[in-house]
Structures are given as C-alpha cells and as structure tokens.
Structure 1
Amino acid sequence: MTRVACIDIGTVTARLAVADVEGGRVTRMLKQSTICNLGEGLTRTGMICEAAAGRVLACVDSYLAAARQARAPRICCTLTSAARDAGNSDALLAELAARGLHAQVIPGEVEGSLTFLGVAQDFADREILVADNGGGSTEIAVGSMGAERGLALDRVRSVDVGCRRMTEKFLSAGDPPSMADVERARRWARGMFDDAVAAEGVRELAPELMVTTGGTVTSLVAVKLGLEPYDPRRVHLAELSREDVEALLARFASATEAERAAMAGLQPKRANVILGGTIAVAALMESCGFERLTVSESDLLFGLSICAAALADGGASPLGWEPDLSELR
C-alpha cells in the first residue's frame, strides 16, 4: 500500500485527496473541497485577481498541514482551466513553489485522461463516455478499462465550457438572469459541444453510458435528494435523467442567487454558478444524445492518486503523463 497526497486547483474549487493505493486501485481516500473561485473575473480580465490567489494559497496552506497530519510522504499539485487561461499564472506557481510544491498546469487532455482513469475503476470492461464539468472547461473522454485490455482511451477533448465561464459570459446582468440570457447561454454551450462531439466522432463510438464528475453534477444530485449534510455515498453512482436536469435548470433559472443559496443540498458559495453549470450539463446531454447520466465521485483526484502512487513505487504512470512529486516535510 502506498499513501500519496494530491491537490487539484480548479476554476471554482481547490481540493485535497490523501489516498492509499494498492495494485493500481485506490483503496481508501480522504477528501477535502473548498470553493476558492480562482477564476473570479477571469473571463473579463484574463488575469487571476489578487483576492482569488490569496484564497487559494490560504487553502493550500491548510491542505499541506492536513496532508502532513495524515502522514502522506509525497504530494503533487495540479492546476486546470483558470491557470491555463490566466496571463499571470506564473505568480501563483511561484507562491506554490515557495511552499515546496512542484505545481503543474495540466493541459485539458491530461485533465480528461486523469478523470477517465479515476471514473473507470467502477466500470470495468465497459465503453463509457466520461465528462468532467468544471468551472472553466468540460473534458470529454471515451474509452474503456479492463484487466486484459488495460486502459484504452479512444478520444479525449477539452471544451471551454464551464460553470463560472458561462456565468460571467452570459448570466451576470440580472438576478435572476433573463430567460433570453439563459437561452443565449444554452445555445452557445450547445454549439461548442456539438462541434467537439462531431469533430471527435463521439456518437459513432457509441459508448454505453455517460458518466459525469464535478461540483455541478454532484450538487444536482444533492439538491434533487435534499441532502443535508452532503452524503457522497448517496451521490456516487446516482443517476439523473434529462428530465431531472431540466427541472433543476428551471428551478435555478427562476430563483435569485439568495434563493438558490438557501436550497437544501446546495453549498451557498455555489449558488452563483450552479445555473451556468446546469445549462452546460443539459447542453452536453443533448449534444451527446444521452437521456440519462451517472454521477461519479471517483474523479480526477482518483486518477491523479493512481499515477502518483505508481511513480512513488518506482513504476510508470498508466497515462504516460507523470505528476511531479515533492517530499512532504
């Protein structure tokens, strides 16, 4: 058994995993998640603002302390869409390096591959479409993983559609936003996804099912079930129909941000972006031709932990891409 710690810094959330990995599978994981909104204002300015960077660094400090307390000997750190887009990401990377982290801004295709690796643990020998609906982008991956064939990724594509990007681009003029703005956002997302799905031949690959990860879809399950407190055991592998998603979309679209923040099952800090995220999920289901989706908690952090543990054991990453590990002291 190998224990590793992983930090993933996304556009909306920063997350920590301390995982035990054995035989290429995560056997135990402790997770923490904090809404830091690194991508705040990024669509407008193209830069990470000082306040957002400060929130992330304070969060990372607490995560480092938690990882040390959990006696994880090694740690890695990835950053995704917001850091890819921002013109001043180097300043944040320098602050992370000062804390002993070899932080990596990963391409969208690596992000999608890591997520697929995590999700596929629960779907052996099945051809699946995995979608990671994030704050700044959505990663789409199609493939399978099994004992004999191993990991087989047929397609991986990153699309710049995410809940914060959607919110800042289309949904910030009113509270609640106008139905015209909601429809504009949906048409834009549908067009982006249609182009990606056609270019990659996703429908022709005919995956059996669509599995999704990310704070939007886990929140949709939590709101549907009225989960207070949040219970990952009830969210993991839960299903949502297209009718479920459309009903939740209508509910969020007709509510103010304050009303959304008060909804059972929704983190108040996610109230600002949940409508944009739900529009993205609805558009993606339409583009890919799925009437149902399965929600997974086994996301990028699972895939990242598997790769990190393989390297820590002196082996090779199953993806080819390698996380940059540092010692935790």
Structure 2
Amino acid sequence: MNLPAAAIDIGTNSTRLLIGELNSPKNGLKILERSLKITRLGEGVDAKKKLKKKAVKRVIKAIKEYKAIMAQYDIKSVKVVGTSALRDVKNSDILAEEIAKLDLKLQIISGEKEAELNYLGAASSLEAEFLLLDIGGGSTEFIWPTDKDINFKSLDIGCVRMTERFINNPEAEISVKEIKNIKAYTIDLLNDKLNLPKNLALKGVGGTITTLAAVKHEMEAYDSSIIEGSKLNIYELNNFLTEFKDMNLAERSQIKGLQAERADIITAGLVILICILNYCACDNLTVSDQDLLYGLLKEQIL
C-alpha cells in the first residue's frame, strides 16, 4: 500500500512541514500538505551560540500543530531535521528533548547533508550544468556538478545571521553603510571559500528566493505552481533593494508577496543573493520550491 510520509525542517528562521506520497505514473511525489511557520529559532544565535527558551517554545508550538495535521493521514514515517541554527549552538539538547516528548526524533544535519538533500529535492528539474543555491536563515548552501561528482559547500551567510550582525535597527530604514557591510562580508567569504566552474546556470531554493519571486508576482497567497520555474533577474533584484532599503519595517510588511514575519530579514537575504549572482557573473536565476523537504520525502518514499 502506498502510504504517505512526512518531513519537518527546523531552520534558523522557519519551521516547515511537507507531507507527500508516491505519484506512481510519474515515479515522483504527490504533495498532500505543506505548511510554513516563522519560528525564528536562530534569534540571537549568531552572537550567543545558545537557543533562547522562547524560540524553542515557538518551534514546539509549530510542531504540535504539524502533528495534528499528520494525524489526519496514515503516515508511514516522519523525518525531523535541524539545520544551521542547531549546528551553531551549544544547547541543542533542550530542543531535542522537547521534540522527543512528542514521540519524534530530531536529527541535526551538517551543511553538506543539507546541500545534498536540496540537490535530491530539486534534481528532477535541474539542468545539466547548473549551480543550485539555498539562502537560509543562518547559512547558504551551494551544489554544483562536475564530470565525476556532485560538489557541496555550505557557508555561514544567511538572512537572519547577516541581519543580526550588520543591521542595527531592522525596524528602521537600512543605511547604505549597512548594505555595504553585508556585501563586503559576503563577497570576501565567497572569494575565500568558493571555487566554482564558469558558465553555470543558477537555480535557487529556500525562503529568501521563493519570497522574492512571490513579491515579483505580487502574490496575495503563496502559489507553488507559479513559483516553480519562475525567473528573477539582477535588474529586478537591484530595484527591489533600492525600494526595500528606504522602507521601514512597517512599510516592508505591507509588500505583496512578503510575509510580515520575514520583513525584517528580507533585505539582508536580497543582498546575499545579489552578491552571489555578481560573483557568478549571472544575470538571472530560476526559482524552485522543491528543496530539502522534497529531498527528505524522496529518501523515505522513492
């Protein structure tokens, strides 16, 4: 019997659920449920390297709601993973213990495993010569092929991390100096840690990139069918930056397609993306929402 599986991703900024089953005629996934809640587990992590109790409570509240959703299905297996914020902290056990009380097991995955799962999730829609990137809350993952292998790299640049490190007051307009500081840090890290082949097509996953696509399409409600395969170009992104930096938090929160809970960190994520496109000498990228969660489901189903 074809029973569905579930995947929960506890990220630096959000906690997400995906439930799916085998779509036999296509040997792919049929998505039954998806949900995203902004839980900001990575609040203060870059500076203190510790989880805050209130952040843990936000995550547990979300997972309890997800368990109620999963109870509506005959789920054969569930995988729960944690990424950048949980890799950074000394007290990840306090979250793991709370999750265990819900009869679930938390697995904290490496940056390389996170990149591998993103590749597995997006593989069905990737071009032969490509760079897949995922800008998360705490880190950015890069995945690219060679003749013999698939390469993975994880760098500690993410929209929550860069906001907390370089933006003094996310509720106010963002200064040119703050943007320059994010750019300088990101470019230095890219130059120091990455050695990519030339002329790769770019494909992007993750909340920063899918949100920017939603903003482009002025979405009132998120629509995966529109996001998947849509395009963002460097001119649009630079225009977004010009607009976003001169808005305060309340104004950014009113942008169509942008979740209000993401309005304080979207500018930092946008700056990271612009830096990556410039580094790769690319004018555009293709957007996908088939990422790590899809990879987790594929591991269980296919």
Fold conserved (TM > 0.5)?
Answer: yes
Structure 2, unpaired ranges of 5+: none
Residue identity over aligned pairs, in percent, reads 32
Alignment length (residue pairs):
298
Which of 165, 181, 186 is the equivalent residue of 2:183? 186
- Please point out which of 222, 244, 253 is paired with 1:230: 222
TM-score (norm 1): 0.87
Alpha carbons 1:21, 1:305 under 8 Å: kept: no
Matches within 5 A, 1:161-176: 161-173=157-169, 175-176=172-173
Instruction: Show the counterpart of 2:242.
Output: 250
Residue 173 of structure 1 deviates from its aligned partner by 3.8
Residue 15 of structure 2 corresponds to 14
1:104 to 95, 104, 107: 107
Q: Which of 276, 284, 287 is 1:292 aligned to?
A: 284
Cα pair 2:17 2:36 within 8 Å, conserved: yes
Equivalent pair of 1:197/1:288 in contact (CA under 8 Å): no
SS of alignment partner, residue 16 of structure 1? strand
Contact 1:203/1:289 (<8 A) preserved: no
Question: Out of 137, 155, 160, which is 2:156 matched to?
Answer: 160
Q: Secondary structure at the match of 2:131?
A: strand
- Letter of the 2:187 partner, please give it: R
Q: After the TM superposition, which of the residue ranges 293-302 and 41-50 deviates more from structure 2?
A: 41-50
The root-mean-square deviation of aligned C-alpha atoms, in Å, is 1.7
Tell me the CA shift for residue 197 of structure 1. 2.1
Q: Give, in angstroms, the shift of residue 177 of structure 1.
A: 2.4
In structure 2, do the counterparts of structure 1 residues 55 and 153 end up closer, same or farther at CA, with 3 Å as the change threshold?
Answer: farther
Paired amino acid for 1:54: K
- Residue 29 (structure 1) shift: 4.1
The answer on whether the counterparts of 1:143 and 1:154 sit within 8 Å (CA) in structure 2 is: yes
Letter in 2 for 1:159: L
Letter in 2 for 1:203: P
Q: Is the 8 Å Cα contact of residues 17 and 30 (structure 1) preserved in structure 2? A: yes
Q: 1:92: Cα distance to partner? A: 0.5
Q: Give the aligned partner of residue 37 of structure 2.
A: 34
Q: How far apart, CA to CA, are the structure 2 residues paired with 1:289 and 1:203?
A: 11
Residue 96 (structure 2) aligns with: 93
Structure-1 residue corresponding to 2:129: 127
Give the drift of 1:112.
0.4
Is the partner of 2:71 in helix, strand or coil? helix
